[in-house]
Amino acid sequence: MARVAVIGAGVIGVSSAYLLARAGHDVTLIDAASEPGMGASAGNAAQLSWAYGDAMASPALLKHLPAIAMGRDPAFRIRWQLDRDFLCWGLKFLANTPFSSWWNNTQEILRLAEQSRHELVILLKETDIEFDYRVAGKLHLYADRQSFAAADSSVARKNALGFEQRLLTRVEAEDVEPALAAYQGEIAGAVYTPSDALGDAAGFCRQLTAWMIERRQVSVLFGRKVSTFVQTGSVLTGLRFEDRDELRVDAAIVAAGPEVRSFISDLPEARDIRPIRGYSLTVRRTGLAPSISLTDVKRKLAFAAIGDRFRVAGLADIERPGAGFDAGRFETLRLAASAVLPDLFERSDELMRWSGERPMTPTSMPIIAASRRIKGLYINAGHGMLGWTLALGSARRVVDFFQ
Ligand SMILES: Cc1cc2nc3c(=O)[nH]c(=O)nc-3n(C[C@H](O)[C@H](O)[C@H](O)COP(=O)(O)OP(=O)(O)OC[C@H]3O[C@@H](n4cnc5c(N)ncnc54)[C@H](O)[C@@H]3O)c2cc1C
């Protein structure tokens, strides 16, 4: 049994702590925030996209890149930075856009998602935690015939891998989700994935942490920021906090999401992770809200009914790390959501305005690895657009390092 510290209590850290404790390790879960799930996991789109998994670097995005670079797509914003890491990340991202790289990366992501789904089934049997989880199904909405026609081959590939996905006309999509009749956006067709699920990621972090504390499975240190590692030679022996206090451990998992970059000197693997900022708006759910998850492919908006709340999330802003909430960008999201579902986003009570950074790698695959520099140090970060979906599978791969 090892003494293991998990740094970061977002979906990745909490999932890692849970599976490490279940494997019999003595786990301390640490976060700089006062409670779990306050980082990128706090206001995400809630979708557990088991059958999506599409890597962001793709031939389609490459084609669209000139429009994005010229600021012609409101869903994206690039703030060019003259730093070496930014340029290297950009070049590696471009190198992953050819079809063969995209498809390899996507299949890797789908395998990890499948592992996550498997672990979630076990977790739901073992715990009684409530996080508004349900198998809601998902509809990807395509605005024009051309993009819908392109979805055809993607569905065929996913079907060949054993995922159930179907192409639907607008009328068929409205049979699946009657609330779509009020959707003001163009719908040339939809891809229906019945098995996709959703759940509140922040609720999962809070509930699972409380469940583990109650059963004395983990110790927690919240409101404590880790600043550096303590070593004897190249072997990890502990952590040092900002206040200079130390904690002795045999191993540490860095699950610090986008902030993993603050450990680059000890964990050069983190250089490949850059933040992509997104926004969300949560309103009170009314009877008009679609119950199935929706993704509007053209507008890059994801919608989810989470318990008594309804959320839209979107935008992908590549900018300097820690840039913060931009009221203008939030307004872009609010207007786009109001244009397609005005009854919900113009007339429902607003509950939360949020923005967070997706920790993104050029391949869209997370980095789950042992540090090249310090023995006993591991990284579990860089889950990008799909961290909630990939959390438990990634945690399983971390536990495998200790066997
Ligand atoms: C708009 C948006 C929509 C999204 N929608 C979805 C979706 O529908 N489905 C999906 O699967 N994924 C989605 N994602 C992606 C997903 O939310 C992220 O990939 C995931 O939350 C990353 O989790 P994490 O635990 O790595 O990071 P975080 O949740 O950010 O957790 C990292 C934690 O580490 C702590 N920390 C950092 N540094 C230190 C330190 N030095 N000491 C102590 N603690 C530290 C932070 O306080 C934080 O709590 C979305 C993301 C965004 C932004």
Pocket test for ligand 1, best of 48, 205, 259, 378 (most atoms within 8 A of CB): 259
Distance 396 CA to ligand 1 centre (A): 18
| Cβ within 8 Å of residue 211, ≥6 positions away | 127, 128, 129
Q: Is 64 inside any structural domain? A: yes
Q: Is 186 inside any structural domain? A: no
Name the pLDDT band for 309 (thresholds 50, 70, 90): very high
- Token duo for residue 22: 């279940």
Number of domains in the chain: 1
Q: Look at residue 348 in the predicted model and tell me its pLDDT.
A: 80
* CATH label of the domain that carries residue 328: 3.50.50.60
- Evaluate if residue 216 carries a pLDDT over 90: no
Q: Is 189 inside any structural domain? A: no
**Strand pairing class (3-7; 26-31):** parallel
Distance 12 CA to ligand 1 centre (A): 7
- Token duo for residue 244: 């200079």
Distance 175 CA to ligand 1 centre (A): 35
Q: Is 152 inside any structural domain? A: no
Name the pLDDT band for 345 (thresholds 50, 70, 90): very high
What are the pLDDT digits (tens) for 17-58?
999 999 999 999 999 999 999 999 999 999 999 999 999 999
Cβ < 6 Å from ligand 1: which residues? 7-13, 30-33, 38-41, 44-47, 49, 225-226, 255-257, 259, 262, 278, 280, 302, 313, 356, 358-359, 381, 383-389
Three-state SS for 330?
helix
Q: In 3D, which of 388, 160, 384 has the Cα closest to residue 273?
A: 384
Q: Is 73 inside any structural domain? A: yes
What are the pLDDT digits (tens) for 144-162?
999 999 899 999 999 999 9
Pocket test for ligand 1, best of 15, 19, 31 (most atoms within 8 A of CB): 31
- Evaluate if residue 83 carries a pLDDT over 90: no
For the chain, give the mean pLDDT. Answer: 96
Q: Which helix (H) or strand (E) holds 260?
A: none
Which range marks the domain in which residue 236 is found? Answer: 3-137+195-400
Question: Are the beta carbons of 55 and 247 closer than 8 angstroms?
Answer: no
Three-state SS for 288?
coil
What are the pLDDT digits (tens) for 105-120?
999 999 999 999 999 9
Q: Look at residue 80 in the predicted model and tell me its pLDDT.
A: 84
Q: Is 219 inside any structural domain? A: yes
- Evaluate if residue 320 carries a pLDDT over 90: no
Q: Which helix (H) or strand (E) holds 120?
A: helix 99-126
Q: Is 157 inside any structural domain? A: no
Q: Is 249 inside any structural domain? A: yes
